[in-house]
Amino acid sequence: MVTMSDVAKLSGVSTMTVSNVINDRAGVSDQVRRRVLEAIRQSGYRINVSARTLRSGRTGVIGLAVPEIDRPYFGHLATHVIAQAKERGFHVAIEETGAGAAGEIDAIAHSHKLQFDGLILSAVGLDPGDSRLSGGDYPIVMLGEQDFSARFDHVAMPNEEGTKAATAHLIDRGCRRIAIVTGAALDGVNVVTRRYHGYLAALAERGLDADPALRFAVDGMTLAGGRAAAHRLADSGHEVDGVVAVSDTVAQGVLRGLADRGLRVPDDVRLVGFDGIPEAAYTVPSLSTVAPDHRWMAAKAVELVTARIDDPSRPAAAYTAPFDLMLRESTR
């Protein structure tokens, strides 16, 4: 390995001068600078980040922890976060937590271990009251899901408002028996319960009854889960003319499951999803969806971590992303 002192020897100066050249510090004559740069080129020297970090305490890397990177929503989110971080001179390392509290706690620990300067955590399993969250002053921004606003910086999704708008839209289109395909965890405050409450709120506001028999829970927020739920729904014998899905991926599964049972969308059943993933515009029929502004969310999250990295004592801030209700063929 080529070290600074190798470069120093090669160019006939001290390591300190090499360091000054590398870090673009003032007080190096042009002639020496050139000689050092040439020596660096020749030797193929690369700075050792561990050594530098050991001294400076900064790595320039932000961690992004998501439940499952193969879920389109998180893939898109990651792409945006990477772009935003790059603009601020940070690098992003992605971590997969596996949608459980344990994985999320692990991600925080790893984040320390790998010496990221800060962490953006898309927590779905973690409870805000979890005692293991008592980490201290490490810069963590919660993205999208649970409400940790009191203790952490937080960029929330418009879960209730969005699902409420989606449900109201179905009612406007004439639906009266509206089912919801929701997640399994219906206690606590999380993305699933909040979206469920948005659905209930819209029904209540329009004077419709919420029939518990029209609530179908999926195990994971997956295509398979959505499909299975649609099968149960179709086989239940309940007349349903509208379906609110907890996410676009689940909605895609529902779409497939309804097709399996010969139910046509939107003719027999109207369907609306949540997340606004680009894929939703390409299904057949295309999928109406609640689309939070992903770019905005990513920008906000990166802005918050970097701010907290610079000033660990600043008060926690909370924002909620704006959203669009994208109307497509599935609710025509």
**290 pairs with which residues across the strands?**
274, 325
Contacts with 13 (C-beta within 8 Å, 6 or more apart), sequence order: 32, 35, 36
Q: Between the CA atoms of 11, 12, 13 and 18, what dihedral angle is there, to the nearest 10 degrees?
A: 20
Residues 246-275 that bind its own copies (CB under 8 A): 252-253, 255-256, 259
Q: Applying CB under 8 A, which part among 71-79, 143-151, 177-185, 206-214 lies near its own copies?
A: 71-79
| 14 sits near DNA (criterion: CB under 7 A) | yes
Residues 25-64 that bind DNA (CB under 7 A): 26-29, 31-33, 47-48, 51-52, 54-56
Site string for its own copies, 132-151 (x = CB under 8 A): ----x---------------
- Quick one: 45 or 199, whose CB is closer to its own copies? 45
Q: SS3 helix, strand, coil % of the chain, rounded to 5?
A: 45, 15, 40
| 283 sits near its own copies (criterion: CB under 8 A) | yes
- Residue 183's region, left for phi above 0, alpha for psi from -120 to 50, else beta, is beta
- Amino acid at the residue 243: V
φ, ψ of residue 246 in degrees (nearest 5): -70, -20
| 102 sits near its own copies (criterion: CB under 8 A) | no
| 15 sits near its own copies (criterion: CB under 8 A) | no
Contacts with 212 (C-beta within 8 Å, 6 or more apart), sequence order: none
- Quick one: 176 or 332, whose CB is closer to its own copies? 332
Binding site for its own copies (CB under 8 A): 44, 46-51, 53-54, 59, 61, 68-72, 74-76, 78-79, 82, 91, 93-96, 110, 112-115, 136, 223, 227, 252-253, 255-256, 259, 278-279, 281-284, 286
